[in-house]
Amino acid sequence: RSVLVQPGGAFSLELVVLWVTLVFQLLLLRRPDEMLRAAREMWSSSWWSRAKYISPLSSLDRLLLGRDWDFFQQAVAAEEEDDEFWRGRDALCELRPGRRAAADGPPPPLHLVAGWHDFFAASQLADFELASRAQPACRLTVTPHDHWGMASLRGLQVAVRAGLSTFDAHLGDGGPAWGGTGRAWPPLRGVDSRPAIERALPVQVCFLGTQ
């Protein structure tokens, strides 16, 4: 909800339009050239202008999908943060004190990779704060990307490296995590070029491909 609804109650219309278009229309096309052609046609038509200024908001699903979407209708109607609709939907891994069942034990050693300009960044920083209290082995890497930039080659390199290093450290033979010695992959500029003592810190911030 914190991504869909901004502080003060403003609805993230542009985000919803782009996400619904990507997931329910463009990703259904099998070939990249078909996706690009469909995207160009959408942007050159009046579709985008109508979506930006649509009213009432509850009719957006009919414009984008040509039908009512129950999930969207419920989300628009659930105006309050503690509404029943949002319970269980705001957390993939429960980290909040008192919400996590005692029998579950501490969370696994998470390695969060956040884009500094990503609309999820604030939530990820809050998640790391909660996770690191319950699990000291948690790590955080912040890159200079926005949300879509995380899917770029550079963003994917950092994300995959974070995952592999975490698996190596906690599921493998106890080898070094994130930038230690004995790795089978080539170094990443701006990440692995740091001294080992810095790479061992739980929080890594990488801006503009530098340290």
Question: Would you state the pLDDT for residue 180?
Answer: 47
The backbone torsions φ and ψ at residue 136, rounded to the nearest 5 degrees and listed phi first, read: -60, -20
Question: Would you state the pLDDT for residue 211?
Answer: 38
Question: Would you state the pLDDT for residue 190?
Answer: 52
Question: Would you state the pLDDT for residue 182?
Answer: 44
Question: Would you state the pLDDT for residue 37?
Answer: 82
Question: Would you state the pLDDT for residue 160?
Answer: 85
Pick out the chain residues at pLDDT < 50: 178-185, 209-211
94 Rama sector, left if φ>0, alpha if ψ -120 to 50, beta otherwise: beta
Q: Strands 203-205, 111-115: parallel, antiparallel or unpaired by DSSP? A: unpaired
- Give Dmax (Cα) for the chain: 58
The structure's pTM equals 0.63
